[in-house]
């Protein structure tokens, strides 16, 4: 990843993180505000509803009170107490309930028996336990009906005024869809009533689970009624008002802030649960709008930040990139590479320094090359002088000896002559050999790579040197090869020459004879060729200087053999190293790239 | 002298006035209001005004000739022949023949009749049956066997109801059935020129109309007789001739006579009598009223819930359905009985109106006439449990009734009277043996 990309990424991430943090904070705060508003609204509506509910309760109590105060009813109570005959008043409750628009009304004798019942006229003579209610406040009760069903009602009990003993009236209104429909509701507000058909007997904590059939609203079944199950069950079990957000569908807009209000009888049992649900459609839409704006602003900000980051990154990174390119150029040998200098900031100073440094380097390099060239010529001259001086001295002695032998008799002269010519011929041969080696070193050809197997190269070398010489020491040449193929791209002649040099060196290192081992094996993506001898080995200092041209440990070596080997190995993108210790022999390790199979 | 003359004049005037009040006048229209339908059996008011039967019962319950002048049985009550009254015509002028009679009887009773065959032979209508029919003349006086014209001489079906009764149908509009006097009625022209019967009128509204002189005759159900009297209405009421009884099915769990017996024991008759029917009539557990049979008191009327539980024996009866014929007090009584049965461990639910079949049906049976056997046979016929009752002696009748009631297909509850309130201008309104007002003999005070 380039510096520019890193800078761009860094700037972008920084800005994006900042924008995201700000957006998240804003949205979180907005959500908190909306939720609080939602809660406040719900609480307000629920409070209004409860007040209305209380008004209805008061209406029921007032209606019963009015009936209890009627002259006709007082007369009825008087007659009832005096005569004890309830028959004439069998239908009285129906008439009174109809006039007062009550759903339920019963006239109760002082002994608690029903005289007349509007909702179930046939129940006369039966006991009405609710008549014992002394509560001044209206209460909830589940009333059984002639058809076997039961209905929830809001009831009130009053004694008929002036009756002694007290004849009571117990009446109320049915809490059903009609009751809900009559209650004032705000727009978006929906009410529901959950009541079980026989819930009064069962304690709320033991009652069965939620049944959507028992949950009705003013217009029948409550949409998504099953979603209220948890809330209603919670209110029933806890006996306390419970609120929550209900998602009626997968869409957030179709959610409601619902409150479940348990409705209890005087004994504290939950008979029904009233739900007040306020649509969150408008609220969610507002939230959505704010979120959309926030996302738009954040997105725009991030986009702008990226554009600015691009510009800034380009501005910051361009001089550095130019420096890097210039450094690469210098590294590749383009010593005249320069960078433009803009402004006076740190990067400009760096660029000036770079330019100055390259100028210095170029100057020093030129002087170094000249020095090295002179040193090389001197070394070459020294080596040549040294190499050539050795054969020249015998030549000079031989020629002087031959000149002196001119004075000798012919037979002796001939003998001297023959020895001298032989010596001359041999030393001249040495000279040719020295010159040939220098010539070979100077003429190292470019390798011509082809696909070969390392085993073939090793076996070829072994075939050449395994036979040995008749007059020299006995040296065994052995190979250790892996059976797996060892393909490589190499010039077979150059590789053969390099390996031959190493084998010859090994032989030279064992004047008393020994074993040369040529081993080859696959190692990861390399092919390792090891040439080992069993000679005296080398000191670490010798090992360090071993590949320096013209360095030799041999009495008559040119110091070029290992330099040629190193040159060949380097031309094949390989490496060569030596492992040795005194008296432990030496091993030359060549590692060459393995060709693909 | 003058004083004597004045006294004599006053006596003459008073006598003349008294004479004028007792002599009925012809003319005028009687306005009647009823809660039900004018034609429905068994108490449809128009039926007795438009139609006659072969026989009829007079106010005392004695059997009298009507369209049949005489009748006689043969072959030990297996065969009856009725000789028709000569010269009688239907209201459209068609002569009453034995063929018309047979056609009408066949139309009104096409299956499960009290006879196997009925045929016309000259002026005779002959009934025959495999089993004896000791009470056929009394049965023919009942509402179901009134004679109507089924086909004119041209063979067409009459456009309206045509009978031989004192009034003929003039029309029906806006809930008012208009009848006009049959000038050629075999029993003589009725006093009033016509009768307007307003149907399906609430009793409360009927009473209001009576108070406003918009009605001359209105209904007073048994349970409101006391109230009507308290309101000082002019009420005429029959003896307790309507048997209120619970009819039980014999299918399902009710096929078990013990279950039916448990139901009979669970019913609290006193609550029905004292409260719902306002102490009118009498509590009964027999088909025939005490006044008629003399042995009704032998049937216990007390409620025994423990016995009911014992008889039910823990049988899970499932939900039984119950219905009541009629409105108001009948529905209320049915609900009360359902409550009683609930206490005895039965689950009884009121059937929805219009339900075809109910396990328990609260019904009213008319008990008319002086003949106990005939009355019992008539009840069995109305209940769909027809069987001839040939017993005459009270002990035989008691045994027969005991055997019927021990089956608990019918549980007698109350004997109730029928009542009507009469307007101030009505004269000589009497009730027939079935408790319905005999308007053919009544007249209007202010008729001219």
B357-411 pLDDT, tens digit per residue, is: 889 999 999 998 888 999 999 999 889 888 888 888 899 999 999 999 999 999 9
Shortest Cα distance, chain B CAs vs residue A148, angstroms: 7
**Chain A hits for B350, Cβ within 8 Å:** 146-147
User: Number of A:B CB contacts under 8 A?
Assistant: 35
What top-level class would CATH report for the domain A450-593? alpha beta
Name the residue facing A90 among B275, B335, B347 (closest C-beta). B275
What is the reported pLDDT for A204? Answer: 44
Give first-to-last CA distance, chain A, whole Å.
33
Across the interface, do B339 and A147 touch by the CB < 8 Å criterion?
no
- What pLDDT sits at residue B413? 96
B253-302: per-residue pLDDT in tens?
A: 888 899 999 999 999 999 999 999 999 999 999 999 998 999 999 999 99
Instruction: Please name the residues in contact with A120: beta carbons below 8 A apart, sequence gap of 6 or more.
Output: A144, A145, A146, B335
Percentage of chain B exceeding pLDDT 90: 62
All residues of chain A having their beta carbon less than 8 Å from the beta carbon of residue B346 are none
Domain assignment present for B18:
no
Q: Are strands A168-174 and A575-580 parallel, antiparallel or unpaired?
A: unpaired
C-beta neighbour count of B396 within 10 angstroms: 13
From the list A87, A88, A122, which residue is nearest B339 (CB)? Answer: A122
Q: Which residues of A are less than 8 Å from B349 in CB distance?
A: 147-148
Chain B contacts to A (CB-CB under 8 A): 226-227, 271, 274-276, 278-279, 332-333, 335-336, 338-339, 347, 349-350
**Burial readout B92-111 (b: 16 or more C-beta within 10 A, e: otherwise):** eebebebebbbbbbeebeee
Q: Which residue of B has its CA nearest to A149?
A: B349
Q: Does residue B256 sit within a domain?
A: yes
Segment B307-353, tens digit of pLDDT: 998 888 876 657 889 999 888 889 999 999 999 998 888 888 888 76
More confident residue, A595 or A183: A595
Overall average pLDDT of the A305-324 stretch: 83
In a domain, B156, yes or no: no
Q: Do B332 and A122 lie within an 8 Å CB cutoff?
A: yes
- Identify whether residues B263 and B403 lie together within a single domain: yes
- Pairing state of beta strands A475-481 and A514-523? parallel
Q: pLDDT band at A136, cuts 50/70/90?
A: low
Local confidence band at A392 (pLDDT 50, 70, 90 cut-offs): confident
Find tokens 């000259």 and name the residue: B122
- Say whether A114 sits in a helix, a strand or coil: strand
Among B275, B321, B327, B343, most A C-beta atoms within 10 A, so best to mutate, is: B275
Q: Output the furthest CA–CA distance in chain A (Å, rounded).
A: 195
Whether B24 maps to a domain, the answer reads no
Residues A492, A457 contacting (CB under 8 angstroms): yes
Query: Would residue B82 count as lying in a domain?
Result: yes
Chain B's closest residue to A86, CA to CA, is B275
- Using the Cβ of A90 and the Cβ atoms of chain B, whether some distance falls under 8 Å is answered with yes
- Asked whether the predicted pLDDT for residue B19 surpasses 60, the reply is no
- The pLDDT tens digits for B120-166 are 999 999 999 998 999 999 999 988 899 999 887 777 777 788 999 99
- Is residue B320 in a domain? yes
The answer on B256 and B231 residing in a single domain is: no
Domain boundaries, chain A: 70-175, 186-279, 399-442, 450-593
Looking at the DSSP bridge assignments, the partners of residue B63 are: B57
Q: How many CB atoms lie within 10 A of CB A567?
A: 17
Q: Do the chains contact at A148 and B227, CB–CB below 8 Å?
A: no
**Mean pLDDT, residues B93-118:** 90
What is the total count of domains within chain B? 3
Count the neighbouring beta carbons within 10 Å of the beta carbon of residue A247: 14
Pairing relationship of beta strands B194-198 and A168-174 according to DSSP bridges = unpaired
Q: For B332, which of A87, A88, A121 is closest by C-beta distance? A: A121
Which among A87, A113, A117 is the top mutation candidate for probing chain B, defined by the most B β-carbons within 10 Å of its own β-carbon? A87
| Mutation to test the B interface, candidates A80, A119, A146, most B Cβ within 10 Å | A146
In terms of domains, do B335 and B380 share one? yes
Query: Can you read off the two tokens belonging to residue B419?
Result: 């009542």
Instruction: Kindly tell me if the per-residue pLDDT of A543 is higher than 50.
Output: yes
Topology alike, domains A70-175 and A186-279: yes
Domain, as residue range, for B103: 52-145
A146 and B338 within 8 Å at the Cβ level: the answer is yes
CATH code, domain carrying B62: 3.90.76.10
Per the omega criterion (within 30 degrees of 0), is the bond before A455 cis?
no
Q: Are residues B131 and B186 in the same domain?
A: no
- B336 contacts A122 by C-beta, under 8 angstroms: yes
A115 CA to chain B: closest CA distance, Å?
Answer: 9
| Chain A residues 137-166 with CB within 8 Å of chain B | 146-148
Stretch (H or E) spanning B128? strand B124-128
B125 and B189 in a common domain: no
Chain B CB contacts of A124 under 8 Å are 271, 275, 336
Interchain proximity A88–B349, CB inside 8 Å: no
DSSP string for residues in A455-492: HHHHHHHHHHHSS--SSS--EEEEEEE-SS--EEEE-H
Query: How far is A123 from A128, CA to CA, in rounded Å?
Result: 9
pLDDT, tens digit, 9 for 90 and up, residues A226-279 = 888 888 888 888 888 888 888 878 777 778 888 888 888 777 788 888 888 888
In a domain, B153, yes or no: no
Q: Are the beta carbons of A87 and B332 separated by less than 8 Å? A: no
**Residue with token string 């009394």:** B138
- Among chain A residues, the shortest Cα distance to B335 is held by A122
Prediction pTM value: 0.64
- Are B35 and B68 in a shared domain? no
- In terms of Cβ atoms closer than 10 Å to its own Cβ (0-12, 13-18, 19+), residue B227 is middle
> Do B253 and B304 reside in the same domain of the chain?
yes
CATH 1.10.1740 for domain A186-279, yes or no, is no
Residue of B nearest to A116 (CA): B275
For the domain made up of A70-175, the CATH class stated in words is alpha beta
Judge whether B58 lies within some domain. Answer: yes
B419 and B228 Cβ atoms separated by less than 8 Å: yes
Residue A358, SS3 per DSSP: helix
């Amino acid at each position: 990843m380039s510096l520019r990309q890193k800078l761009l990424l860094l700037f972008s991430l920084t800005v994006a993180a900042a924008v995201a943090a700000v957006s998240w904070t804003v949205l979180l705060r907005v959500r908190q505000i909306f939720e609080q508003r939602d809660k406040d609204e719900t609480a307000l509506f629920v409070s209004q509803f409860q007040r209305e509910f209380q008004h209805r309760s008061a209406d029921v109590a007032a209606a019963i009170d009015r009936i209890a105060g009627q002259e006709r009813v007082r007369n009825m109570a008087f007659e009832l107490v005096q005569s004890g005959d309830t028959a004439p008043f069998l239908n009285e409750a129906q008439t009174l309930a109809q006039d007062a628009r009550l759903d339920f009304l019963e006239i109760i004798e002082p002994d608690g028996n029903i005289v007349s019942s509007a909702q179930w006229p046939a129940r006369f003579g039966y006991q009405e336990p609710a008549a014992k209610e002394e509560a001044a406040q209206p209460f909830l009760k589940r009333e059984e009906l002639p058809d076997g069903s039961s209905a929830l009602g809001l009831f009130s009990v009053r004694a008929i005024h002036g009756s002694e003993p007290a004849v009571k009236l117990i009446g109320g209104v049915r809490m059903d869809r009609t009751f809900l429909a009559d209650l004032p509701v705000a727009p978006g507000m929906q009410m529901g009533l959950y009541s079980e058909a026989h819930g009064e007997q069962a304690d709320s904590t033991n009652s069965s689970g939620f049944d959507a059939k028992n949950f009705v609203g003013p217009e029948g079944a409550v949409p998504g009624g099953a979603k209220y199950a948890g809330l209603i069950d919670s209110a029933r079990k806890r006996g306390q008002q419970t609120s929550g957000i209900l998602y009626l569908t997968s869409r957030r807009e179709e959610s409601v802030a619902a409150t479940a209000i348990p409705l209890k009888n005087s004994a504290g049992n939950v008979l029904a649960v009233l739900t007040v649900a306020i649509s969150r459609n408008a609220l969610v839409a507002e939230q959505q709008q704010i979120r959309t704006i926030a996302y738009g602003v954040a997105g725009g900000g991030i986009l702008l930040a990226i554009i600015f980051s691009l510009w800034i990154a380009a501005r910051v990174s361009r001089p550095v990139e130019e420096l890097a390119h210039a450094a690469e150029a210098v590294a590749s040998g383009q010593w005249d590479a320069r960078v433009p200098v803009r402004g006076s900031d740190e990067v400009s100073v760096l660029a000036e320094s770079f330019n100055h440094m390259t100028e210095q380097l170029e100057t020093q390099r030129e002087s170094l090359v000249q020095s090295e060239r002179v040193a090389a010529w001197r070394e070459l001259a020294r080596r040549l002088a040294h190499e050539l001086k050795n054969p020249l001295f015998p030549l000079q002695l031989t020629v002087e000896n031959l000149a002196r032998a001119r004075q000798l008799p012919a037979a002796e002269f001939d003998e001297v002559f023959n020895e001298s010519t032989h010596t001359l011929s041999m030393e001249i041969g040495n000279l040719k050999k020295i010159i040939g080696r220098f010539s070979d070193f100077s003429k190292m050809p470019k390798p011509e790579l082809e696909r070969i197997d390392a085993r073939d190269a090793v076996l070829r070398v072994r075939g050449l040197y395994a036979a040995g010489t008749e007059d020299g020491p006995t040296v065994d040449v052995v190979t250790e090869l892996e059976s797996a193929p060892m393909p490589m791209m190499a010039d077979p002649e150059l590789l053969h020459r390099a390996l031959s040099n190493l084998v010859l060196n090994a032989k030279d290192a064992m004047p008393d004879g020994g074993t040369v081992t040529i081993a080859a094996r696959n190692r990861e993506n390399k092919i390792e060729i090891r040439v080992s001898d069993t000679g005296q080995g080398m000191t670490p200092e010798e090992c360090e200087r071993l590949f320096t041209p013209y360095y030799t440990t041999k009495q008559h070596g040119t110091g070029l053999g290992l330099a040629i080997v190193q040159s060949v190995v380097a031309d094949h993108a390989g490496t060569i190293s030596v492992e040795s210790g005194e008296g432990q022999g030496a091993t030359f390790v060549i590692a060459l790239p393995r060709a693909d199979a | 002298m003058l004083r004597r003359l004045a006294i004599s004049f006053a006596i003459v005037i008073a006598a003349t006035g008294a004479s004028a009040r007792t002599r009925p006048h012809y003319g005028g229209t009687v306005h009647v209001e009823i809660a039900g339908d004018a034609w429905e059996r068994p108490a449809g008011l128009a039926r007795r005004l438009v139609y006659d039967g072969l026989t009829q019962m007079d106010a005392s319950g004695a059997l009298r000739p009507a369209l049949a002048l005489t009748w006689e049985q043969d072959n030990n009550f297996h065969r009856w022949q009725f000789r028709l009254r000569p010269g009688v015509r239907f209201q459209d002028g068609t002569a009453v023949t034995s063929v018309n009679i047979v056609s009408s009887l066949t139309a009104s009773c096409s299956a499960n009749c009290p006879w196997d065959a009925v045929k016309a032979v000259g002026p005779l209508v002959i009934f025959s049956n495999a089993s004896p029919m000791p009470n056929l003349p009394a049965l023919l006086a009942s509402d179901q066997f009134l004679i109507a014209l089924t086909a004119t001489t041209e063979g067409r079906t009459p456009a309206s109801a045509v009978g031989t009764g004192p009034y003929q149908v003039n029309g029906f509009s806006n809930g008012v059935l208009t009848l006009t006097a049959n000038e050629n009625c075999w029993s003589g022209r009725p006093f009033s020129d016509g009768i307007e019967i307003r149907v399906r009128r609430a009793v409360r509204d009927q009473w209001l109309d009576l108070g406003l002189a918009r009605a001359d005759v209105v209904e007073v159900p048994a349970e409101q007789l006391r109230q009507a009297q308290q309101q000082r209405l002019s009420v005429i009421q029959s003896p307790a001739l309507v048997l209120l009884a619970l009819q039980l099915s014999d299918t399902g769990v009710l096929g078990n006579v013990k279950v039916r017996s448990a139901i009979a024991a669970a019913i609290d008759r006193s609550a029905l009598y004292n409260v719902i029917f306002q102490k009118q009539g009498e509590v009964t557990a027999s088909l025939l009223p005490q006044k008629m049979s003399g042995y009704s008191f032998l049937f216990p009327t007390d409620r025994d819930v423990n016995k009911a539980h014992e008889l039910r024996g823990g049988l899970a009866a499932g939900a039984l359905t119950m219905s009541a014929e009629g409105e108001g007090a009948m529905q209320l009584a049915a609900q009360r009985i359902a409550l009683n049965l609930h206490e005895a461990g039965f689950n009884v639910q009121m059937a929805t109106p219009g339900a075809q079949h109910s396990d328990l049906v609260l019904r009213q049976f008319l008990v008319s006439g002086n003949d106990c056997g005939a009355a019992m046979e008539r009840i069995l016929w109305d209940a769909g449990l027809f069987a001839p009752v040939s017993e005459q002696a009270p002990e035989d009748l008691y045994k027969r009734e005991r055997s019927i009631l021990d089956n608990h297909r019918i549980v007698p509850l109350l004997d109730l009277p029928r009542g009507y309130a009469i307007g101030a201008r009505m004269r000589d309104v009497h009730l027939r043996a079935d408790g319905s007002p005999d308007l053919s003999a009544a007249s209007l005070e202010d008729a001219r």
